[in-house]
Amino acid sequence: MKIIYLLLLSLLLHITAFPQQQIPLNERKYVDSLETILRKNIADSSKANADFLLVDYWKFKDTIKSKTYLLRGKKLAQHYPYYKALSFFYEGQYYFNINPDKASLAFKKAEEALAPFTTKRAYGNRAAAWFNYALMIKDKKGYEFITKITLDKAIPNAEKAGNMVMLAHYYTQLSTIFMNNYQFAKAAVYDQKAIILLDKVSPKSATLVFAYLSGVGIYCYDNHPEKALPLLKKAAILLAPFPQSVNYPLYYYNESLYYTTVKQLDNALKSAGEGLVLAKKYHQQQLYAQFFFRKYEIFSQQKAYAKARQTLLDIIAEGTLTANVNDRAELYAELAKTTEHLQKYKEAFGWLTKQRQVTDSINNSQTKVKINELETKYRGLKNQEKINALQAQNKQASLKEKYERWYNWMFGLGCLFLLVILVFVIINTKIKHKFSLQKEINYQQQLKELEQKQQLKVAKAILDGEEHERERIARDLHDGLGGMLSGVKIGLSGWTSNNAEVSNDQGLHRIIHQLDSSVSELRRIARNMVPETLLKFGLEVALKDLTEFYMREGLHIEFQSFDIEKNIALAVQLHIYRIVQELLSNTIKHANATYIMLQCSQNGHIFFITLEDDGVGFDVSVSGNKKGMGLDNLKNRIAFLKGKFEIQSTLREGTTINIELNTSADG
């Protein structure tokens, strides 16, 4: 029974750790929301992100679907540096269960590609990439390597990401590692830390389910089933609303483990049978094989040796657990013992012979390794002896040559001294000449930098002057002329009310209506000149208000914003607002569009603007020669913020404009 216990425990890390990217318990809602994103007319970056999450969802259920989403996501991510780097991570997720070598290589590439990004999301992805990389090479470097990566890489990056659910997940993984190495007290401490944290930040998550089930395994293997039962019940409560969850096989495994520990063997067998069906359905190969072992342990305790023997034969036929030569040897040994109980001594002897053959092959391999190591050391010693002999010969020859050269050197020393002086003079002259040229180049560069700074100051002064003049004119219009027109209108309306003979005059009412229209038009002009919403509520609200202002019958404008910070300098916010205002104005004036999509996002100091319309489009190659397109002022503001400007347009298909701005470029 001790051997069975060791075999069951040796593969537990794979069972608990394989779903690195946790899927929400409400899987149907989760998948539907991602599919809805893919059907929308939105930015490729958002669609790429949805594709990548679906890669992770389908990697165990349907590898063909998973690969389809991976290829489409990588194609959409080409123009977005962050998502292009992220594509390596999801390539690793696709290979997670089918090719560990390719998966480990992809996770390593993902960590390196994500390293330049300093957002919280990037830190979270780097943590996952490091941990998955360690899992993929566990067989080569062992549990010590996984522990080191978890403590030194995964947990620190999860903390930088501020992702408490991810942090709790890694506590659970550490508890599993300690359990696999029979350190149950430490395992229980880390699992309890994960549960306490998840109870606060994510009380209905799949991660908490894993923490509960990990605790069940720890307490059962440590022979404390009374501590395992409450955790098993809590996991069942969380899973109950979601009968199709891929987490149920792991639940049934731990339920069977609990029943086995408390000697309720019929219940244990029932749980193992239900889990076996679901593990096969969800392509969870490692767990599927472990359920056979669970059944074997139960049959062995029931002394149902015929069923135990057939279960071991099923394990060998399934093949997952026979890939490792040590596990294969233990399986043969168990078959020998089981068939011996059935008094099939010839068959038992056959299995024992196979076990010895496998053991001998292991020992022979180890012996060969030791022989090769000794041979290498022996060759090294022989080579060192030859090297020492050659060094002694070379030393003697060197001394002889030294005395012979001594006399020749004395004769040539004077000539060499003169030659050195001559070379020094020549080199010194060249250095001075190069220094003079470099000084001239530096001077020219300084002049160019001064000129650029002066141009920047002039541009800033022009743009600031323009904004100040806009503000002055808007104030004069609104407070001066607007007030006067409103006063005239109020006075005229009052006079009309006091003179009944003219109160029904249609011409007079038309004049009052024209005054109302004039006041509204004046306020619209003042609004365009000074965006009060920007000053009061910030850039994101001002842009949303601007799009709603431009919407009208027959024209829908959709505004999307992502991660726009509130601490952008006010002058920069104003420039961004003017750029978007100019874009919308030009599009409405020239594109004849019915739909406009405006997307604004921020990553650090870089601000992205994308505007797409379904209008008539134009020929980009000749647009630069046309006047009245409003592009000059737009380009000046973009240049002032050290930005990039790209237009893609096709006749009768619409126009796409991409702009990148540096929010730290002001001043």
User: Could you tell me the residue ranges of all domains in the chain?
Assistant: 535-662
| pLDDT tens digit sequence for 575-611 | 999 999 999 989 998 889 999 999 999 999 999 999 9
| pLDDT tens digit sequence for 356-398 | 888 877 666 544 544 454 455 546 555 676 677 777 777 776 7
- φ, ψ for residue 662, nearest 5 deg: -100, 110
Q: Which CATH class is domain 535-662?
A: alpha beta
* Orientation of helix 506-529 relative to helix 482-498, angle to 10°: 160
Give CA–CA dist 414/167, Å, rounded: 75
H helix count then E strand count, the chain = 27, 5
- Nearest one of 655, 607, 648, 596 to 41, comparing CA atoms: 596
pTM of the model: 0.49
Phi-psi region of 343 (alpha: psi -120 to 50; beta: other; left: phi over 0): left
Q: How much is the pLDDT for 180?
A: 80
For the chain, the average pLDDT equals 82
CB neighbours (10 Å) of residue 434?
10
Long-range interactions of 466-471: CB distance < 8 A, separation 24+: 467/574, 470/529, 470/530, 471/529, 471/530
Give CA–CA dist 539/335, Å, rounded: 73
Exposure string (b/e) for 254-274, b if CB count within 10 Å is 16 or more?
A: bbbbbbbbeeebebbbebbeb
Bridge partner list, 662: 606
- Nearest one of 108, 187, 95, 198 to 153, comparing CA atoms: 108
CB neighbours (10 Å) of residue 509?
14
Q: How much is the pLDDT for 446?
A: 78
| pLDDT tens digit sequence for 460-486 | 665 566 666 666 675 566 555 666 676
Give CA–CA dist 352/377, Å, rounded: 37
- φ, ψ for residue 444, nearest 5 deg: -65, -40
Instruction: Show the DSSP H helices in 319-344 as ranges.
Output: 325-341
- The predicted model gives 540-567 an average pLDDT of 92
